[in-house]
Structure 1
Amino acid sequence: MIKINGRFSLTFLYTVVAFAMAIPALHAQSVKHQHYDIAAYVWPAYQPEARFKDIGVFKDGKGEWEAIYNAKPKFPGHNQPHVPLWGYTNEADPKVMEKKIDAAVSHGVNVFIYDWYWYDGKPFLENGISKGFLGARNSNKMKFYLMWANHDHNSYLDYTATDKSKIYWRGGVDRATFDTMIAHVIKDFFSKPNYYKINGEPVFSIYELSTFIKGLGGIKEAKEALDYFTQKTKEAGFPGLHLQGVLWGAIPAGLSATPGDTTQTQNNTVLDLGIKSLTNYQWCHYVPMDRYDRWGDKAIEGWFKFSKDFTVPFFPHVSISWDPNPRYPGKKVQGMVTNANPVDFKRFLIEAKKYLDGHPNQPRLITINAWNEWAEGSYLEPDKQHGYAYLDAVKEVFGKK
């Protein structure tokens, strides 16, 4: 007890006890109202891209929608075709994107991560961002950043092709190409006020670290290129560059900075390259296909392994499903996830939120596959089967931003 003017103050004691008892509730309230960035990947192939003609695909002029509305079920109960509630829209049209931005933001999705391509010295599918998203009158409602999808582009994109091994464009680039590419990125994207930043640094994600390293000629050359990227970003007025790596389970064998490819050397590779965070693009990259509930539980176990193996922050990722069969219309069933549903998806979002709350020293960013991966069966956009149920799940966990 405390003596005030020679007397014990029970009022003071009760005040102290009440405040102490309130601390857990205050902490819970602060966590509940904490801001989370919910970032959905965007696959910008649902547009009349001129370069589709160069490779002879999607002759209907609607981009990969052609594979979606031509898809057929391969077995009883197979959920094909997926039918978009909003129709087969052109995502390079600003008016189309205005509706999609409003739907995303009103349900808690406040960042789009655009799959972004650079082949043969020029961009591919870029009108989805530059004309559609950035041309929308309400684009300032949400942030965006780029994931450089630097994989080889092969004939998987041609749903009519029986041979999927044909390479249209190589994803690896040399140093001169890289320098030209990043000059465009800094000038035309980083400069936008709604480009997503962490600690003031524009975030730029790299899909295949292995392809990037091989294209440049090795770890040393890759590091020099990324150091130059950071330097040019600073010269443009930013405090630095936040490089994000997409993790497929491990840094590929033979590409670590030191021999052995152990967990430690993989972490050293990430650090040597200046990668500041890691996330995933799709759970199928590190978890074999399964029933959705089991698939997700195994994927979530991976979050804690990644956060233990690497010293840079890992941002949890949630996938909605995986079914690439629209790209393979033959009789053979491609590997797929079964029983995907909004209820389990919501459960996995709750786990992602718990993960971030348990890692309070890193930004609260969650990535989702995807906003519109219709050809892979993984999308937040409403369809005629589930309506808005997947978007509603995001809203129920994270609320309107």
Structure 2
Amino acid sequence: MSGFTTRAIHAIENIENEAIVPPIYLASTFGQPTTFEEGPFEYQRGGNPTRANVETTMAKIEGAKHARVFASGMGATAAVMGMLKTGETMLMGMPVYGGNYRFATIELPKRGVESRFIHDFATLSDDDFDETVKMVFLETPTNPTLRVADIARIAEIAHRNGAIVVVDNTFMTPYLQLPLELGADVVVQSATKYLAGHGDLLGGVVTTNDAEIDEQVFKAQLISGGILPPMDSYRLMQNVKTLAIRMERQQENALKIIEMMREHPAVDEIFYAGSANENEAEIQSRQAKGIGALFSFTLTEGKDVKAFLDTLQIFEFAVSLGGIESLICLPATMTQGAYAPEHLKDSHVAPNLLRVAVGIEDIDDLLGDLRTALDAA
């Protein structure tokens, strides 16, 4: 099965009683053989058939050997960053999701782990590494400025210096971008976003081809208990089957909106994957199938951000992204609200930067809503 959606729908084989979809197993504990051998499942925190099914699905669509699902995207990221040991260093691309930033600046220092920030991965070189650097963590495109980094190039440099590469692929999803095929060692995603796609469940995913990394991630989950419950596991498994269809519509809508906003006098700058320069456009076209469904923009000087937001009828002013509903937020005070002032400045997250997550609504309605709000600004 080579097609993305075919793999997503038919990842689970030999379903009981010839049912079209797998059953949901709610059991917290499972009977064990009296021969004292370990059964396939023992206790829900360590494993559950429904969770195993969604992990199989995620591995299939990611092209990975191993997948683990968590109670949230931060649970997944924390398990991966938690592999770092006292005295080790992580290089983190900036800007990055505020939750990842918090973990790097608040939690990792408690463990004796240093984080060094890279604001432009195009400048990454062997000089950025010493014997303590064991992980490079990046988003591409970045949140919320949509800067693009060359995963293959970064992986080559990192591996040459004994570090693993972790890519947060939440924005692109495995439908548009496959970091493992580009040389990354680990992929983390917030399943809350495009994978689940309906704004009604939290989840996280870690995928890798490295058995040792997978074992470390599993042990971290077993110890912390950050598991995805059976009901949410089932819903994620079902929702991801429509990812390609949703993503196509969302990306198509985003492209049409960007085209309209380029011509509107109230819009100053627009930022999307590959828009920064020709080099990043080439990288994005090479390593991904499109720009995704997220972009950011600023209003021209003198325009009223509050008037713009107050006039919107369809776009909801809220954090998060990736659902079928269109959302808009102000990253400097919302998703990046935990940033130190100097990191906001260095990452070019302007106070008036607005991030747009495009949904699947009818494009004429979305365009009309934005035009009216831009005129009001």
Query: Structure 1 length normalisation: TM-score?
Result: 0.25
Higher CA-based Rg? 1
